[in-house]
Amino acid sequence: MKTKILLPAALALSLSVAAQAQTRLKWNALYWAVGVVNMSAETKLSDKCTFNGDLVYSPWESLDGNPMKFGQAIAEGRFYPRKTFDGFYVGAYGAYHKLFKFTKWNYINRDNCQKGNGMSFGATLGYQLQINNRWGLDLYAGYGWQHTTYKGYKKSTGDMYVDTNSSGEWLPYKLGVAFTLQLGK
């Protein structure tokens, strides 16, 4: 009985220690500068491939009368031509969005806002550089397709102007200057 518990626990602990040595935590300074909370972790999968996971939360009830309150989870695979965490990379991502109360780009400064869910898929181009043995920078931009299903409300009254609706659009999707911290060295 003890072996059945200890062996998996020892395996999980050793994998955790190994993953820490090849994992970076990241904070996107551009998002933080505008009050959007975010955290990322990127883990090495092979000599040239990584997995990056982002969590993003925008708490803004109003930006000049336009609500921008949303959360999203982004999963991305990245390929580095030289080696992981070094130089140029390309990535492919998928994301889930929860629109708590949001003004879509084509409704800015109008009396409409949306609540619903969405997903997106796209590509990222980026560049990572080392500042020292623990710290670095991750510079990136992404473009992709977003699909949302939402209900539309009038901001002034709260009345629904459209029941369940869907839309899809191609958009520049993410932009980042992220500080990276190497774990476990």
Per-residue pLDDT, averaged over 142-151, amounts to: 94
**What is the rounded CA–CA span in Å between residue 109 and residue 162?**
18
| Cα dist from 81 to 54, 78, 86, 113, whole Å | 22, 10, 9, 42
Strand ranges, E, within the chain? 23-28, 37-44, 49-63, 66-79, 87-102, 112-130, 135-154, 160-182
The residue-averaged pLDDT of 109-114 equals 89
Average pLDDT over residues 1-18: 48
pLDDT of residue 59: 93
Q: How many CB atoms neighbour CB 121 within 10 A?
A: 13
pLDDT in tens, 14-64: 444 445 568 999 999 999 999 999 999 999 999 999 999 999 999 988 888
Please state the φ and ψ torsions of residue 164, each to the nearest 5 degrees.
-45, 125
Residue 156 to residue 113: CA distance in whole angstroms:
10
Structure tokens that stand for 113 in this block: 């806002």
Q: Does residue 85 carry a pLDDT above 70?
A: yes
The domains located in the chain, with CATH, are: 2-182 (2.40.160)
- The residue-averaged pLDDT of 126-147 equals 96
| Dist CA 75 CA 13 (whole Å) | 24
Tell me the C-alpha distance between 177 and 59, whole Å: 20
* H helical segments located in the chain: 2-20, 29-33
